[in-house]
Amino acid sequence: MNLEQLQYIMEVSKSGSLTMAAQKSHITLSAISQSISLLENELGVTLFTRSRGQSAVPTPEGQRIIEKATKILMKVNELKEEANQFNHTLAGELRIATIPGPTHLLVETVARFKKDYPNVKIEILEKGPKEIVENILANQMDIGLMVLDEDHVPKSNDLVFEIALEGKMVVGVNKNSALSTEKFVTPDMLKEETLVLYEDEIIRNFIEKNIAEYDKLDVLFSTNNTYAIDYAVVEGAAVTIGLDFSFHKNRGNHEQIITIDLKTPENQTIPYGWVRHKSKPSSQIAKTFIDRLRLDI
């Protein structure tokens, strides 16, 4: 038995195909098939049910072996990366998926992390909460940053969640707006205002639950561009609704925009943090990055 064999059975399990696993592993189909057969003979267990077209489905026994192999490879990669840290040569890839609004919270952490570990390639993609969870479960992303309320967090033994901070929905207004002197804003007050809204499932769900019963809101536009939203608010053309930590100073225009509490029956605190796969291989880079986030957020 060797580590390559364990990697092969993981690839076959993920792709469901010997051909695809061979291509991804950059070896021939016969080589990967022979390697897995040798491992099956050594263990005395049939790992996959194979069919025409080289498709392969893990047997019940094979699934348990693959789960063990995943944990073994994770520990091996952690060992390697831990050693690299001692040599200041942490290297590899870090893939981060985040809900769009608070992306600015990552900027300083990513910049410092990249400076300390220049051999780590960092990729940040903005996605919705559902897609983030799906990507983490499929091992397509290493870390997901998202709202961790009951509407967006699935129950799964394969995921680990950690809350970084708690926020609440607020109204963002121009500092010269008549609303800027108010201690709080109610939905009744919003029906007199023109709004620009972030095109986001979290914002949309909040409005449907808390504000939909009031008169139809006057929405100028909805967009995923925070700069367009900020510009409309700074120019006094509209007000906006968002999570308070989405208006942190890193976002820009913070001196021109004032946030006011939004008073609704269900405006409770909303947790924000990260999600990762419990047993994903090559997790040491992600863990190191999360340690930085704990200090920065």
pLDDT tens by residue, the chain, 297 residues: 888 899 899 889 888 888 888 888 889 988 998 999 999 999 999 999 888 766 889 999 999 999 998 888 888 877 776 676 655 567 788 999 998 777 777 888 899 899 888 889 999 998 888 899 889 988 889 999 988 877 777 777 788 888 988 888 899 999 999 999 999 998 888 888 999 998 877 888 888 877 766 557 888 999 888 889 989 999 999 999 988 888 865 455 567 899 999 888 766 788 889 998 876 655 678 888 888 888 887
- The residues spanned by each domain of the chain are 3-83, 91-165+271-296, 169-267
Please give the full DSSP string across 174-206, using - where no structure is assigned.
ETTSGGGG-SEE-HHHHTTSEEEEE--HHHHHH
What letter does residue 217 receive in the DSSP assignment? P
Domain topology for 3-83: Arc Repressor Mutant, subunit A (1.10.10)
User: Are 91-165+271-296 and 169-267 in the same CATH fold?
Assistant: yes
What CATH number does the domain located at 91-165+271-296 have? 3.40.190.10
**Domain 169-267: CATH superfamily, name plus number:** Periplasmic binding protein-like II (3.40.190.10)
Q: Which strand (E) or helix (H) includes residue 273? A: strand 270-277
Q: pTM here?
A: 0.62
- Are 192 and 279 contacting, i.e. CB atoms less than 8 angstroms apart? no
Half-sphere exposure of 26 (CA within 13 A, CB side): 0
DSSP 54-119: GBEEE-HHHHHHHHHHHHHHHHHHHHHHHHHHHTT---EEEEEEE-SGGGGGGHHHHHHHHHH-TT
